[in-house]
């Protein structure tokens, strides 16, 4: 058994997600546990190289977390043969040119989603990686959340019977910055910077639906910009012209109907920031990020509509919480371990850049459905599409 040291370029790591989920809770956590065990007995030890535009932020991050290597020069990091993996957590509109540069340098590439601002560019990335013969992947973290892993268990064990419908509720109130500071970056609300909740969240809903419930056949969507004016990081008022809410319906090839509401303009009165309710002929479940409540057929109450009396059934009390029988690691870290084994040892990894392009495709079709006020078919996406 040998330790295999691998330089991992982390571009855009100074952002919230880049720092917390990818650097601290994934790469540094993997290092702290002694690396990633490969099937051949070797252990892969990632060595992070922080890349960004702001040297002060990079230096601070390096000092706080004990990372020795950082640079504002991506070309310099790519030229180092020790660095075999490139990870991109930049704003979406910056992802394609930087990732293409990494592919041209022969690096394995791993990207946040959406992988591009449009399907043509997302396919361009996928084609480039295939043509160059480099390992490639996209972050699909929600598949590894404890709540959705519990849903997967219920599906696999036949708990639901025949699934008839899925309802997803995602979002929270994002302050506009006038009275309280905003908790999301301003680029999220600018079209020119690839902002918009459809592009952001449909990339998630595509892989969640595809992997849990089945292929999407058609989409209908209404989106909106509910808060048209916000305050940016410099305290300047700007026009928020990107969509901040989307109300979508997906019809699957197997007949399941999925409704997903996504909003940065909603106040939360549910179990979590994301809840997914699955209703089947034999049982139902509601999963959040970590927990999952279930109600089987035998324990389903039989309510009668009567608005003239207080509701006699305490509906929440008729559900049971699934136990945490298995330990659940960080979702991002789980997929990082999979990708490192794929990039360095060639082990299987299904979440390729082509899968990432499918999420971008769904977002584009969602925008088309909104603009044309109709159902839009979702054709199979292949590398020769577009």
Q: Please check the confidence at residue 383 and state whether its pLDDT lies above 90.
A: no
Q: Which pLDDT score, from 0 to 100, does residue 385 have?
A: 56
Pairing of β 83-88 and β 237-239: unpaired
23 has a pLDDT exceeding 70: yes
Domains of the chain (ranges, CATH numbers): 3-141+331-351 (3.40.50.720), 143-329 (3.30.360.10)
In eight-state DSSP terms, residue 43 is E
| Mean pLDDT value across the chain | 96
What is this structure's pTM? 0.94
For residue 279, give the 3-state DSSP assignment. Answer: strand
pLDDT tens digits, one per residue of 204-243: 999 999 999 999 999 999 999 999 999 999 999 999 999 9
Nearest residue to 11 via CA among 64, 66, 56, 75: 75
pLDDT at 278: 98
Of the chain, the percentage scoring pLDDT greater than 70 comes to 99
pLDDT given at position 386: 52
Contacts of 87 (CB under 8 A, 6+ apart): 8, 9, 10, 11, 22, 109, 110, 111
Residue 57: pLDDT above 90?
Answer: yes
Q: Which of 259, 247, 245 is nearest to 216 (CA)?
A: 259
pLDDT category, 384, cuts 50, 70, 90? confident
Work out the percent of the chain whose per-residue pLDDT is above 90: 97
């Amino acid at each position: 058994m040998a330790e295999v040291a691998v330089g991992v370029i982390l571009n855009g790591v100074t952002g919230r997600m880049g720092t917390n989920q990818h650097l601290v809770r994934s790469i540094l956590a993997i290092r702290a546990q002694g690396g990633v065990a490969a099937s051949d007995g070797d252990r892969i030890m990632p060595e992070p190289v922080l890349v960004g535009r702001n040297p002060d932020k990079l230096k601070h991050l390096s000092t706080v977390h004990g990372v020795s290597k950082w640079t504002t020069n991506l070309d310099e990091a790519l030229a180092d043969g020790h660095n075999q993996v490139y990870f991109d957590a930049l704003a979406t509109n910056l992802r394609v040119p930087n990732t293409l540069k990494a592919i041209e340098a022969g690096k394995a590439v791993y990207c946040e989603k959406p992988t591009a601002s449009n399907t043509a560019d997302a396919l361009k990335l996928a084609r480039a990686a295939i043509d160059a013969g480099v390992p490639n992947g996209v972050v699909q973290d929600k598949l590894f959340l404890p709540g959705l892993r519990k849903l997967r268990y219920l599906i696999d064990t036949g708990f639901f019977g025949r699934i008839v419908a899925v309802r997803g509720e995602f979002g929270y109130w994002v302050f506009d910055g006038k009275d309280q500071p905003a908790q999301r970056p301003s680029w999220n609300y600018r079209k020119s910077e690839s902002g918009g909740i459809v592009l952001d969240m449909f990339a998630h809903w595509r892989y969640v639906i595809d992997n849990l419930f089945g292929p999407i056949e058609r989409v209908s969507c209404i989106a909106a910009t509910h808060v048209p004016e916000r305050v940016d990081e410099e305290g300047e008022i700007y026009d928020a012209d990107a969509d901040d809410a989307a109300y979508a319906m997906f019809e699957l090839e197997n007949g399941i109907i999925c409704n997903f509401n996504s909003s940065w303009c909603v106040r939360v009165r549910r179990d979590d920031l994301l809840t997914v309710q699955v209703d089947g002929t034999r049982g139902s479940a509601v999963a959040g990020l970590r927990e999952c409540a279930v109600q089987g057929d035998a324990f389903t109450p039989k309510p009668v509509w009567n608005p003239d009396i207080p509701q006699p059934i305490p509906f929440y009390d008729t559900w049971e919480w699934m136990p945490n029988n298995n330990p659940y690691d960080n979702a991002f870290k789980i997929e990082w371990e999979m990708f490192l084994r794929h990039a360095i040892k060639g082990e299987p990894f299904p979440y390729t850049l082509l899968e990432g392009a499918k999420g971008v495709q769904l977002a584009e079709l969602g925008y088309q459905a909104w603009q044309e006020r109709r159902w839009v078919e979702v054709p199979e996406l292949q590398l020769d599409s577009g």
